[in-house]
Structure 1
Amino acid sequence: MREGFLAGCFDLNRIRGAVMSGIVLSGLLVAGAPALAFEPPLEVPAMRSDRLAGSPMLAVTSVGSRLVAVGLRGVILVSDDQGKTWTQAQVPVSVDLVAVTFPSANQGWAVGHGGVVLHSQDGGLTWEKQLDGLMASKLAIDFYTSNPEHLAEAADLLAKEQNLAVDKETQPFLDVFFTDDLHGYVVGTFNRIFATEDGGQHWKPLMHLTDNPQEWHFYSIAGAGDQLFISGEQGRVWRHDLQSNRFVSIDTPYNGTLFGIVPAAHDQLFAYGMRGSFFRSSDQGMSWERVPLPVNSNVVRVLPYGQDRLLVIAQSGEVLVSSDGARSFKALPQSSQIPLFGATMVDEKRMALVGPLGVRVEGL
């Protein structure tokens, strides 16, 4: 039950500009309107409105029969009737949210810009902030300052973190994954990865446990059983090695960005990214096969469902389906084709798709 926005796969500024153009224009029409002081979006709750159901949403997940979607300016929407009606959640920030996951019916986490990590205990109706970029930076600086004798990389990691913290800038988290209600991970730009073992009450930096000296961005984290994988820039995949407790780099036949990685049954692993790139592994990433897709658009989501069935969601709006374990694909007819940013399965016969016009539910 997870879904993440794949940063870099579309121009977020273009969407934000389209959304805000009407607001800015209407403000200019008010003669003599006083200028409002800037308020940090990490400290301002999401704006409440009854007309947000059609606003741009970046990620969606299913929580039992409930759908939870996250999007621009801290908007989180919840539906209990397969997307017919939506309720806006209470959110304490107004930054863009890009990924959401629920390891159980009530406990959920969302992440996004500003390095924010939000937590819900009621199935997505209300949220609280557990972490933000400033807090995460302080955690990392304190950790690598106090552990130089135990970590050979401590000095280097401390210098890198201090460089990222210049002028109180924050780095976004781009994905979140929880194995259960207590154990979870968030990943983001410049090799940033943090973990919790108590449901987000405390977070610990893990940058010293990654084979990523170039600090490639992490775009996705996912797991199945005792396996955990990360995908990122330069066609990189990292697998968590239980023996060494490190995220070990795995080669793939690709040097572009991999927006996502999906573990599946029978030791299968799917990785996907820019310009229709899709790769399949049958040995947990030890070897890879590129599978041609009938699209050239960025792949933004891959959804396994049923026996050997797979959906591939393209940014340009196409939905592809495979019934032979991702060996071949065909296009799935849709009621309309607009850009897509993510998707989730509603049940075995329906999927929920998110994009610039909100969320829509389509049959398979």
Structure 2
Amino acid sequence: MLLSILLCGTLPCSAQAAFQDPLDSPSVIVDQLGKRSMQAVGMAGKRLVTVGARGVIAISDDDGRTWSQSISPVQSDLVAVHFTNERKGWSVGHDGVVLHTEDGGKTWQKQLDGRAAHKLFVQYYKAGAESGNAAYKAALRAVERNYKTGPTLPLLDVWFDDERNGFAVGAFGLIIGTTDGGRTWAPWLDRIDNPEMLHLNAVRGGDGGVYIAGERGAIFRLDRAQNRFVAVATGYTGSFFGLAVSKNILLAYGLKGAVYRSADHGQTWGAVDVPSPTTINGGTVLQASEGFVLVNIAGEMLIGDASGQRFSSRKGNKGWRYTGVATLPGERIAVTALEGIQVESLK
């Protein structure tokens, strides 16, 4: 048996399945959805929608007690999901995938992928670059470098202000925007103060602003007058992996339990002490209290007050490695993990 496996790795073998591009292959039906590796969870009204490895998408209408699988048009790993209401939502992931639903996550359509993005970006920047626009020249060089090995560049987060206006961000400075609900997307590489093409890991809004967090302590704030994301100094040099935004407070969180706070719409930032040094992968604002809950890879929930300055720690029921979180009514949260998805009570 071992010999045949080795031979199939180097020689034609009838038993070896032909390569299937994940961009052209719908997700496979799987069992035990609640125990599948999941990366993010969102709320479509009262419905839970979670996304994860190999394009798996699952929905629950009974607070996570039971799950049903929605067919995804791709097998690319999905890492983020966001809804603007009970019907319209978006999910992004590896291979530059953008998926969209208009029925609360039951069915999904592909709006963009890395292959289409490469062509779109080159076409978008080429004319300006040939006319001498320095910003377009730099963006075109970045596009050719990023897509040199194919359409593998991942999108890492997505956020919409309403049904029409939204952004998605990703590795090596990837950023796209839409003003028509994702029917068309435009690159924003020339409209962000990110000449080093740092990884952009998260995008969020909610207090009237829109913010992006990335590596090397990078935070970018949308200047609506300039229609441009401007860099903001944070004093941090590690990676931010996410943002949680309430009406008055912004939190950026990430590597080794780092949490930074802004109370002036992202203009200035300061470090917050939290009771765990473990990398934080997810965060959200609690519905009832306007407090915060952050979750980390050690299966801990860091529960903060509305000021975002005081946190306590609680271990989850199963000790799973958390990847994402969404808030539910009644002091509860839905938490995704490498081991599955579960609902936790914060009481």
TM-score (norm 1): 0.88
In the alignment, is residue 312 of structure 1 matched against residue 299 of structure 2? no
Following superposition of structure 1 onto structure 2, how do residues 1-364 of structure 1 map, counting pairs within 5 Å? 34-148=15-129, 149=131, 151-266=133-248, 268-305=249-286, 306-323=288-305, 325-364=307-346
Q: Cα gap change, 1:249/1:203 in structure 2, threshold over 3 Å: closer, same or farther?
A: same
Q: Distance in 2 between matches of 1:151 and 1:347?
A: 51
Letter in 1 for 2:244: V
Q: Distance in 2 between matches of 1:226 and 1:168?
A: 37
Q: Cα gap change, 1:284/1:150 in structure 2, threshold over 3 Å: closer, same or farther?
A: farther
Q: Distance in 2 between matches of 1:271 and 1:150?
A: 37
Q: Secondary structure at the match of 1:234?
A: coil
Query: Structure 1 regions of 5+ residues with no counterpart?
Result: 1-23
Q: Distance in 1 between matches of 2:172 and 2:282?
A: 22
Q: Cα gap change, 1:37/1:272 in structure 2, threshold over 3 Å: closer, same or farther?
A: same
1:289 to partner: Cα distance = 1.8
Q: Distance in 2 between matches of 1:334 and 1:172?
A: 30
Asked if structure 1 preserves the Cα contact closer than 8 Å seen for 2:158 and 2:168, the reply is yes
Letter in 2 for 1:170: T
Q: Distance in 1 between matches of 2:30 and 2:320?
A: 24
Q: Secondary structure at the match of 1:341?
A: strand
Q: Distance in 1 between matches of 2:216 and 2:87?
A: 36
TM-score (norm 2): 0.92
Select between 218-227 and 305-314 the one with higher mean Cα deviation: 305-314
1:33 to partner: Cα distance = 6.3
Q: Distance in 1 between matches of 2:291 and 2:206?
A: 17
Q: Distance in 2 between matches of 1:359 and 1:327?
A: 28
Asked if structure 2 preserves the Cα contact closer than 8 Å seen for 1:280 and 1:288, the reply is yes
Which digits, 9 at most, give the CA deviation of each residue in 1:312-352, with x for residues without a partner? 21111111212352222112353222211111112132111
Q: Secondary structure at the match of 2:118?
A: helix
Which digits, 9 at most, give the CA deviation of each residue in 1:295-325, with x for residues without a partner? 1110112222233522121111111212352
Asked if structure 2 preserves the Cα contact closer than 8 Å seen for 1:308 and 1:326, the reply is no
1:52 to partner: Cα distance = 3.0
Asked if structure 1 preserves the Cα contact closer than 8 Å seen for 2:54 and 2:76, the reply is yes
Which digits, 9 at most, give the CA deviation of each residue in 1:51-98, with x for residues without a partner? 333110110012221000000000000000001110100111001000
Give the number of aligned pairs. 336
Asked if structure 1 preserves the Cα contact closer than 8 Å seen for 2:299 and 2:315, the reply is no
1:49 to partner: Cα distance = 2.4
Asked if structure 1 preserves the Cα contact closer than 8 Å seen for 2:34 and 2:342, the reply is no
Q: Distance in 2 between matches of 1:185 and 1:326?
A: 25
Select between 148-157 and 221-230 the one with higher mean Cα deviation: 148-157
Q: Distance in 1 between matches of 2:91 and 2:82?
A: 7
1:147 to partner: Cα distance = 2.3
Letter in 2 for 1:45: P
Q: Secondary structure at the match of 2:116?
A: helix
Quote the sequence identity (%). 36
1:153 to partner: Cα distance = 1.0
Query: Structure 2 regions of 5+ residues with no counterpart?
Result: none
Q: Secondary structure at the match of 1:143?
A: helix
1:183 to partner: Cα distance = 1.2
Letter in 2 for 1:229: Y
Select between 51-60 and 209-218 the one with higher mean Cα deviation: 51-60
Letter in 1 for 2:88: Q
